[in-house]
Amino acid sequence: MHNVFSIHFADLPDELPLFPLTGAVLLPNGQLPLNIFEPRYLNMVLDSLASSRLIGMIQPLPDANSDPPEIHVTGCAGRVVSFNETRDNRLLIVLGGVCRFDIIKELDVRRGYRRSVVNWDRFSHDLDQETETDLEKESLLDSVRRYLEQRNLGVEWETLKNLEIPELVDTLGCSLPFSPREKQGLVEALILGDRYELVSALCDFGTTSATGTDSRPH
């Protein structure tokens, strides 16, 4: 079924507000819930709602000590798909992944938040309906199950089982407790198949590392 809310590549803006946040990444078929309370980011969300509804999620560089912190070149834009106001002046929003981008240059700060000129070309395929029929769902879920059991973590298994492969891979990539470096690797993995392999490998490594066997993906 055609999604009437879909964004076309030609409609992606040249400029994007940036939300630098360590350990919180968005992928094209994933979703990211956020609790917004800083005034500058409240401004960012409200401005976004009044325009494209797009926000660029991006991670600071590791050990970035500058103010503002240096950031990675590649991030992912999300569309505000839901939001709720709270009585204590917060916004609870959910971003739906749209397309990844490369930063070309940063612009002057507006209303406290960072902005950038971006280029989408390298990731134009993010807007295509990816159907990787050769990727095995059960194999991936088995790796995830072992990974979570090792950490005594639980998930809504029925929900995961009902997701198509693109949504499953990117939901796992957004939500599993991988390191910021590992999550950035997922953001930069060019195609869905690469992200599938990386999520599976990270889960397998996370499981076997507890037994002293090193199978970290290289």
Residue 63 neighbours by CB under 8 Å, 6+ apart:
none
Q: Measuring CA to CA, how many Å separate 113 from each of 45, 46, 163, 164, 207?
A: 10, 12, 34, 35, 39
pLDDT digit string (tens) for 100-151?
999 999 999 999 999 999 999 999 999 987 666 689 999 999 999 999 999 8
- Nearest alpha-carbon partner for 28 in 91, 94, 75: 75
Residue 2 falls within a domain, yes or no? no
CA 57/CA 111 separation, integer angstroms: 18
CA 61/CA 71 separation, integer angstroms: 5
pTM of the model: 0.90
pLDDT digit string (tens) for 7-30?
899 999 999 999 999 999 999 999
Instruction: Determine if the peptide bond prior to 68 is cis (ω within 30°).
Output: yes
Residue 96 falls within a domain, yes or no? yes
CATH of the domain at 75: 2.30.130.40
Whether residue 54 is found in the same domain as residue 120? yes
> Hey, which bits of the chain come out as E strands?
15-20, 31-36, 54-58, 74-85, 91-110, 113-119
For the chain, what is the domain count? 2
CA 199/CA 80 separation, integer angstroms: 25
Whether residue 16 is found in the same domain as residue 82? yes
Residue 4 falls within a domain, yes or no? no
Residue 132 falls within a domain, yes or no? no
pLDDT digit string (tens) for 159-197?
999 999 999 999 999 999 999 999 999 999 999 999 999
> Residue 196 burial (CB < 10 Å; 0-12/13-18/19+)?
buried
Q: Which domain holds residue 187?
A: 137-211
Residue 217 falls within a domain, yes or no? no
The sign one gets for the Cα dihedral 177, 180, 186, 187 is positive
pLDDT digit string (tens) for 83-101?
999 999 999 999 999 999 9
Residue 181 falls within a domain, yes or no? yes
Based on C-alpha coordinates, what's the Rg of the chain?
A: 18
